[in-house]
Amino acid sequence: MPSQIRISDIGLYLRCPRLVYFDAMGRLSHKSNPMHLLLRSLMLAIVCEEDLEGQLKGSLTRLERELPLIYDIEPDEINSACRELEGKISEISNGLSPYIDMLVPCDVEVDLRSEKLGLSGRLDRLAPGGIPSLIRSGKMPGEGVWKRDRLMLAGYSLLLGEKYGKKLGHGLVEYPLSGQVRKVQIYSVDRARVLRIRDRVRQIRGGQLPDRPDDARCAECEALKSCETRVSLASRFF
């Protein structure tokens, strides 16, 4: 039976196919990002529509104590991220308030798996109506959502569609720092591309080194040293 491909692998491939290769070799660092952890945990802690600002402030205090106990991260790093967010809670709350009924009640960190599709993943949030939602700590695009997020949502829509026997037409991307939630349409072409990428990821994880894309952001890549070393070694044989 073909190996399972994670939706996160799809996201990694869309950043750069070579990241999938080096991840399979154990060459990628998976050190937790303090701000990403904090924002994601903060959003997942929202449980109701009332007193959103109070919920966020209370969760921030709790997460400052708890996150260093859960993840391999220094307390000082989380403390610094908390101090940075403290002054933004009111702004985040005011921005998210118009969208809150799109987010709760919900299930969080939902594990999904399909032997038929050969896909698996852990969805950030299953929003009301069975809508997949991703939480992003980075900057928001001027319009819509980033391509990587749209295709990852398409992957989750495939898993949810099989589980519940219906096609999902849209998903959500949450941008807490911008205080916005964006709705994105999921098209058949997106679902088809996810399955093509799934097959390509299998090949790469099987040992096939992919070409480096022309638009790869190499200067800030965590695999740059491994990538350059691998290319240098390969050039000796060709």
Whether residue 84 has pLDDT greater than 90 = yes
The CA distance from 167 to 192, in Å, is 13
- Tell me how far apart the alpha carbons of residues 72 and 66 are, in angstroms, rounded to a whole number: 12
Q: Is the dihedral of CA 206, 211, 217, 218 positive or negative?
A: positive
Residue 234 has pLDDT above 70, yes or no: no
Over residues 187-226, the pLDDT tens digits come to: 999 999 999 999 999 999 998 888 887 777 777 777 777 7
Q: pLDDT value at position 78?
A: 94
Q: Enter the pTM of the model.
A: 0.91
pLDDT at 232 over 60: no
Task: Give the contacts of 77 (CB within 8 A, at least 6 positions apart).
Answer: 34
> Could you tell me the sign of the dihedral formed by the alpha carbons of 109, 116, 22, 150, in that order?
negative
What pLDDT is recorded for position 233?
Answer: 44
Evaluated on CA atoms 49, 54, 60, 61, the torsion sign reads negative
pLDDT value, residue 28: 82
Phi-psi region of 67 (alpha: psi -120 to 50; beta: other; left: phi over 0): alpha
Q: What is the distance, to the nearest Å, from the Cα of residue 88 to the centroid of all Cα atoms in its chain?
A: 22
Residue 209, φ and ψ in degrees, nearest 5: -75, 120
Domains and CATH numbers, the chain: 5-196 (3.90.320)
